[in-house]
Structure 1
C-alpha cells in the first residue's frame, strides 16, 4: 500500500514537472531577424548584439527567449514584406519613414545614433582628384551614385534629384571599382570594414577623402502590428541599455574606430533633405551622436 502511494506521488510529481517544462517552452519568446543576402556581410552584427542584449535585459519580466536568423536570405525590402506576413521573421531593422511607421510598430530608439545618415563613399581611386571640386548639392546632381536594389533610402536620393544606379549588394563593389558610377555612399559604420574586406580583390577601390553626404536617417527595429508585447520588450531592454551604458559600449565597440578613421573635421558636408522623416522622430540628445543635426531636421519637418 505504501509502495503504491509512493509510486502514485512520483507519477504526480513527474506529471507536474512535465507541465511546468511544457509551459516554459510555450512562454519562450522566439525572435527571428532577417538573414543577410550576402555570405560575407557583417554590417548588422552590432544590431544583432543590441537585439540579443535587449532580450537578455528583460528576462525578469518576459522570461526566456531564443534569437536567430531567418532560413530565407533577404534584402531590406524583402524583409519588410516578410515581417508583414508575420511568419519567417519577427523583427527587422530599417531606416524609418511615415509609411513604415503606419504599417509596423516602430521602436523609436535610433540603433546607430544617426550614424548611418553620415555617408562616406567608396570610389574608383582614379576619381579622387575630380571629386575635390564637388562642393554643393548642385555638383552632386551631376554625378551618379550606386545603391542597392530594395534599399529604403533610394527614395531620399530620388527626392533630392540625385542620379542613382541600382544593383545587388555584392555587385556594387565590382561596379565601383570598374567606374560604373561616381560614388557608392556608405554609412561611416560600414565603409571602412567593406573597404578592408575587398581592397585586395579590387585594387582600384578607395575611400573618398573629401566629402561627407548627410541626411537625417533614423534606423529602428520594427515588429509586426500584431506583436506589441515583443515591441515593448525590445524597447524596455534598449532603454535599460542606454541607462546602464551597455548601449554606448556596443556602439563604440563596432563604430569607434570608424568614427576615428572618418576624419570628419576635414570633410566638406553636403546636406540632403529627407522629406520622409516622421514628425515623431525623437530629439532626446541621449539617442544621437550629433543631436543638434537631428533636432534641426525634425523642426523643419514639423513646420512643413
Structure 2
C-alpha cells in the first residue's frame, strides 16, 4: 500500500469513529458469525480463523472479544435480513453484492485474494473428455451449468451466456449434477477439492475437471450489521495490522496453498468473464493491485515458504 492510500485509509477510520461515536474503550465485543449452509459445508473455517486472528491483533486497544458461530443454518437472503438487525448474527464473510454493500457495513479488503473467483468445474467423470476438448468460451457456455439461486456469481454466468440451472439448497446442487440436470458446476479453488472429497461417498462419479478455469472477479468481504459499527471498525483495523505484519499471508497460504498447487491453474485454459457487481480495481482500492493473486503464476515457489 502506498503512503497516500495508507493516509486516506487511516483518515477515513478516524472520521468513521468520530461520526459513529466509536471509541477504543475496553469492552467485551461479541462477534456472532454465520453457520455454514450444510453440515458437510466447511468453506467458512478460514474466515472463522481469520476473524480470530483479527480479534487477537486488536485486543490492546479494543479489549477482549468473543467469537461465536451461530447454530442456525440459514439461506443467504435470511442471513442478510438477520445481519440488518444484528441480533442473531452480526458478521459474515461473503461475496460482494450491491444490496449488501448498501445496507450493511462492508470491510472492503478481499480476504481470499480473489481466488474464490478462480472457478474450476465439478463434473461427472463421463464428461471429462468433453471438457478436455473445449477451446472457446462459446463451447463452454453451451453446456448447462449449476449455481445457487442466491449466489452473486449466478448473474455473471448468465450475462456471459451460460444457461444457469439453479437451486436454493447447497447440498441439492451436487445431487442435481449427479442426475445430469447440468454438466458443469463451478466452484472456487478454495472449495472444489474439499467438496469433491466430502461428497465422494454419495456421488463417487463427481470429479474436478483438470483442463479449464473460469475467472470471475469476486471479492469475499466481511460484512457487519449496520447496528455494530464498532465491530466493523475493529475488523478493518485488525485486518490491516495483520496484513502489514505478514500474519495475514501466513494464515492465508497455510489454508490455501494445498489447493493452489493441486489446481495447477497456470496449466489450464483460462476464460475470463466480467462480474457486474464488482471490478478488480474496486477490490484493490484499499490493499493495492499486488494483493490479488494471478492464476497464471506458478505457486510452487511461493507456497514452499508456508507448507
TM range (shorter): 0.7 to 0.9
- Cα distance in 2, alignment partners of residues 97 and 42 from structure 1: 22
- Show the counterpart of 2:284: 282
Q: Contact 1:38/1:169 (CA < 8 Å) preserved in 2?
A: yes
Q: Contact 2:109/2:283 (CA < 8 Å) preserved in 1?
A: no
- Cα distance in 2, alignment partners of residues 103 and 159 from structure 1: 25
Using the TM superposition, name which of 173-182 and 215-224 deviates more.
Answer: 173-182
Asked if 1:212 is matched to 2:216, the reply is no
- Cα distance in 2, alignment partners of residues 86 and 41 from structure 1: 23
- Show the counterpart of 1:187: 188
| RMSD after superposition | 2.0
Q: What SS does the corresponding residue of 1:122 show, helix, strand or coil? A: strand
Q: Contact 1:147/1:166 (CA < 8 Å) preserved in 2?
A: yes
Q: What SS does the corresponding residue of 1:82 show, helix, strand or coil? A: helix
Residue 291 of structure 1 and its aligned partner are, at CA, apart by 9.6
1:99-138 correspondence to structure 2 within 5 Å:
99-138=99-138
- Cα distance in 1, alignment partners of residues 214 and 135 from structure 2: 10
- Cα distance in 2, alignment partners of residues 244 and 155 from structure 1: 37
Higher-Rg member (1/2): 1
Residue 198 of structure 1 and its aligned partner are, at CA, apart by 2.2
1:168-183 correspondence to structure 2 within 5 Å:
168-183=169-184
Q: What SS does the corresponding residue of 2:34 show, helix, strand or coil? A: strand
Q: Contact 2:265/2:296 (CA < 8 Å) preserved in 1?
A: no
1:213-252 correspondence to structure 2 within 5 Å:
213-252=214-253
Q: Unpaired segments of 5 or more residues in structure 1?
A: 1-25, 294-304
Q: What SS does the corresponding residue of 2:112 show, helix, strand or coil? A: coil
Residue 215 of structure 1 and its aligned partner are, at CA, apart by 0.8
Aligned length: 268
Q: Contact 1:98/1:276 (CA < 8 Å) preserved in 2?
A: yes
- Show the counterpart of 2:36: 36
Q: Unpaired segments of 5 or more residues in structure 2?
A: 1-25, 298-307
Residue 102 of structure 1 and its aligned partner are, at CA, apart by 1.6
Q: Contact 1:113/1:288 (CA < 8 Å) preserved in 2?
A: yes
- Cα distance in 2, alignment partners of residues 275 and 150 from structure 1: 15
TM-score by length of 2: 0.82
Q: Contact 2:54/2:235 (CA < 8 Å) preserved in 1?
A: yes
TM-score by length of 1: 0.83
